[in-house]
């Protein structure tokens, strides 16, 4: 009985912790959709975001990266085995510690949608699955070539704005996310989130309808542009303003940093799908999506019903602990009583008689009786022999 009481108390405590937590994990889905050497910058965009989310603590086990081409090993690369996002080549984004989950021809529209909705077979390894739940925040970043409500995958197929919207809706219905931050860097990027209709989504893009998204600068030694403007200035903000996981910078601070004179296009933001609208969305911390947050607690003092439920749950936990302690004390007392009873002899216990010493009189009496018996036996033997003769 005692272990059961302890187990109930632990379960109740765990439920209380889950109730208080808004979200318990952060995930990142980073997608490059372009192949060929002249799209080097799109791979650099993805790898630069990958480096940032890892710096802020999200582990590889919670990052899904899709790269359709391997620019690091391209024969045109003047610096084999490396990818840079800046012409000074200070940081090798490819490095030694990188995990690409989908590469080459695995990067397709079908695989991307299956990843989001978890419509995969049992043979799919965990490293290629988005193992999120209703307490997970997800950063979805996409970059490539696009147009009005579409994004090309490897110049072979396209994903439409409605395809993306329906995939996010399936995720919501299947309780696969708590909140999503969707970011896209492509031409006419803002049209890609125009059809979203699922709740708890913040979206931002690099350019509005009929606008291009431009590269930032080229590396003459590499021979191509190495990063896009929109992604470059997002990274500049994250690297300079968000130093570690304890940063208090918000999504609103990031969006306010957009400068159209530097980006050369009109970035867009969408808040209307988020509960509480602009203010609630803008107040979200950068690290709520870019950092490795575990068990975030949110103040909900205004929710009287929740407070009442938490109070009842707390009392239940205290009562279970009290009953468990009483049960333990009662069992300990019972064991002590039984031990004392076993160690004290009862009055009805039968006494063991000791040996009695022989006196001289009794010794001679026994000797005479023994001798008489021997004489009698001898007489009987002699009489028997006489009669037989």
Q: Which residues are catalytic?
A: 145, 187
DSSP 287-340: HHHHS---SEE---TT-HHHHHHHHHHHHHHHHHHHHHHHHHHHHHHHHHHHHH
- Cα-Cα-Cα-Cα torsion 120, 100, 65, 57, nearest 10 degrees, comes to 120
Residue with tokens 């867009």: 268
Q: Please, which residues have CB within 8 angstroms of residue 295's CB and are 6 or more apart in sequence? A: 17, 21, 24
285-316 per-residue burial string, b: 16 or more CB within 10 A, e: under 16: bbbbbbbebeebeeeeeeeeeeeeeeeeeeee
Contact (CB, 8 A) for 178 and 135: yes
Report the C-alpha gap between 169 and 57 in whole angstroms: 28
Sheet holding 146-147, edge to edge: 146-147, 150-153, 157-160
Whether 73 and 54 have beta carbons less than 8 Å apart is answered as: no
d(CA 69, CA 37): 8
3-state secondary structure of 118: coil
Give 218-250 as a DSSP string: EETTTTEEEEEHHHHHHHHHHHHH--STT---B
């Amino acid at each position: 009985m005692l272990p059961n009481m302890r187990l109930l108390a632990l379960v109740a405590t765990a439920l209380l912790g889950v109730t208080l937590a808004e979200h318990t994990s952060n995930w990142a889905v980073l997608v490059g959709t372009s192949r060929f050497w002249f799209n080097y910058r799109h791979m650099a965009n993805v790898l630069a975001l990958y480096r940032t989310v890892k710096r802020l603590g999200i582990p590889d086990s919670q990052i899904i990266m899709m790269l359709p081409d391997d620019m690091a090993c391209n024969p045109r690369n003047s610096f084999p085995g490396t990818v840079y996002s800046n012409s000074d080549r200070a940081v090798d984004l490819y490095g030694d510690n990188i995990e690409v989950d989908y590469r080459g021809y695995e990067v397709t529209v079908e695989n991307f949608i299956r990843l989001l909705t978890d419509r995969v077979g049992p043979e799919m390894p965990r490293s290629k699955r988005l193992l999120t739940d209703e307490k997970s925040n997800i950063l979805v970043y996409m970059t490539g070539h696009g147009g009005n409500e579409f994004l090309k995958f490897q110049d072979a197929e396209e994903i439409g704005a409605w395809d993306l919207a329906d995939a996010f809706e399936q995720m919501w219905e299947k309780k696969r996310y708590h909140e999503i931050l969707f970011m896209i860097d492509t031409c006419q990027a803002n049209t890609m989130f125009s059809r979203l209709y699922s709740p708890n989504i913040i979206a931002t893009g690099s350019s509005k309808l009929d606008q291009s998204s431009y590269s930032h600068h080229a590396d003459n030694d590499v021979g191509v542009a190495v990063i896009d403007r929109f992604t470059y200035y997002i990274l500049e903000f994250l690297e300079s303003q968000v130093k570690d996981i304890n940063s208090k910078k918000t999504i609103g601070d990031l969006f306010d940093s957009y400068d159209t004179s530097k980006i050369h296009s009109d970035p867009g933001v969408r808040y209307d799908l988020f509960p509480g609208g602009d203010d609630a969305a803008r107040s979200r911390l950068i690290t709520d999506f870019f950092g490795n947050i575990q068990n975030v607690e949110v103040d909900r003092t205004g929710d009287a019903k929740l407070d009442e439920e938490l109070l009842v749950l707390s009392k239940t936990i205290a009562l279970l602990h009290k009953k468990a302690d009483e049960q333990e004390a009662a069992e300990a007392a019972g064991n002590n009583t039984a031990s004392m009873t076993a160690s004290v002899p009862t009055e009805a216990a039968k006494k063991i008689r000791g040996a009695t010493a022989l006196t001289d009189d009794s010794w001679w009496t026994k000797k005479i009786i023994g001798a008489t018996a021997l004489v009698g036996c001898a007489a009987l033997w002699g009489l028997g022999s006489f009669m037989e003769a």
